[in-house]
Amino acid sequence: MGKEVINDIRWAVLGTGVIANEMAQALQKSGKKLYAVGNRTYSKAVAFAEKYGVEKVYSDFNDMFTDPDVDAIYITTPHNTHIRFMRKAIEGGKHIFAEKSITLNSSELEEAVALAEKHNVLIGEAMTIYHMPVYKKLKEIMESGELGRVNMITANFGSFKDYDMSNRFFNRSLAGGAMLDIGVYALSLIRWFMRPDPERMITDVRLAPTGVDEQVTMLLSNKEGQMAAVALSLHSKQPKRAMISCDKGYIEIMEYPRAWEARITDAVSGEVTTICTGEHADALKYELEDFEAAVTNNKKDFLHLDYTIDVMELMTKARNQWGMTYPEEE
């Protein structure tokens, strides 16, 4: 039957890497504590628990999926592992918040959504763009009609990763590649501002020696004639910059995955208005607050799962165009 509505969520985290540390710190900022931790390497879980005062450490991390004292699990492991952990956790009646990308492809996400509905639990992707205050403010501005219609969106994201083919970013066995790691941010931003979702897509790709996507360009459009362009790279530095061009002005956003500021330029006068709200360092705090509101106050729309589904469809479609698969898909 799944869980009843609860007021104080008891969180477990799967994994002890960078995101897991940020998650524990985010709970602390909200005056809460992480309840439990599990990791493939038990000693790392113990060290993590000591660092953050976590009450429970699992000698076998699989025990968190059936632990009656756990309400929600944050999955921070590589995205090609998510679906198998989500299956166990959802069947155990746990709400799931998964690091992006939430799954490897659309079919996995469809399975997870169906399972969550069957067991009456919520699932969501930890996509900062859906939770940062600046994006909520920009949505209000766009819905007011102040800037008119969105016509064009551009989004760039380029990182310079050492050309080490054993690195996670280039490792096919760990679902490496630009699309699932950084493209998910660009496409989530586009989905946030584009109505309806893109239905036409042209892509190009340069593959790394390991066979994963190292560099990607995308052109998108929807039935309303709104268009978007995306440029991604794992081996060529670019600013994390987005621009949303509208009838009456344009919005510029730097560091858009965890943005705290946006500049709006009037198309006629050139007058610039700066919107500044939220903190870059509090990105996970905002995510967790929205997830908890979804669970405790039945605010399912706070998770924007429909956007997550749309973005995953675009990423899956792009890889299908390239004929690029991961071992789990073969």
Kindly report, as residue ranges, where domains of CATH 3.30.360.10 are found in the chain: 130-282+310-329
Query: What per-residue confidence (pLDDT) applies to 16?
Result: 97
- Residue 19 is encoded by which pair of tokens? 């995101």
* Single pTM value for the model: 0.95
Q: Is residue 2 scored above 70 in pLDDT? A: no
Rounded Cα–Cα distance for residues 136 and 273 (Å):
16
Query: What per-residue confidence (pLDDT) applies to 5?
Result: 45
Q: Is residue 304 scored above 60 in pLDDT? A: yes
Least confident of 22-26, 68-72, 197-201, 246-250: 197-201
Q: Is residue 6 scored above 80 in pLDDT? A: no
Name, in order, each residue with C-beta under 8 angstroms of 125's C-beta and a sequence gap of 6 or more. Answer: 97, 98, 99, 100, 101, 102, 303, 305, 308
Gyration radius of the chain's alpha carbons: 20
When pLDDT is averaged across residues 162-189 and rounded to a whole number, the result is 94
Kindly report, as residue ranges, where domains of CATH 3.40.50.720 are found in the chain: 11-126
When pLDDT is averaged across residues 173-180 and rounded to a whole number, the result is 96
Q: Is residue 178 scored above 50 in pLDDT? A: yes
Q: Is residue 1 scored above 60 in pLDDT? A: no
Among 3.30.1330.60, 3.40.50.300, 3.40.50.720, 1.10.10.10, name the CATH number for the domain at 11-126: 3.40.50.720
For the stretch 86-96, pLDDT in tens is: 999 999 999 99
For the stretch 143-174, pLDDT in tens is: 999 999 999 999 999 999 998 888 899 999 99
Query: What per-residue confidence (pLDDT) applies to 7?
Result: 60
Q: Is residue 25 scored above 90 in pLDDT? A: yes
What fold characterizes domain 130-282+310-329? Dihydrodipicolinate Reductase; domain 2 (3.30.360)
When pLDDT is averaged across residues 58-67 and rounded to a whole number, the result is 97
> pLDDT band for position 61 (50/70/90)?
very high
DSSP element (H, E) containing 243: strand 235-246
Rounded Cα–Cα distance for residues 103 and 284 (Å):
19
Rounded Cα–Cα distance for residues 115 and 121 (Å):
9
* Cis ω before 327 (30° cut-off from 0): no
Rounded Cα–Cα distance for residues 255 and 246 (Å):
20
Residues in the chain: 330
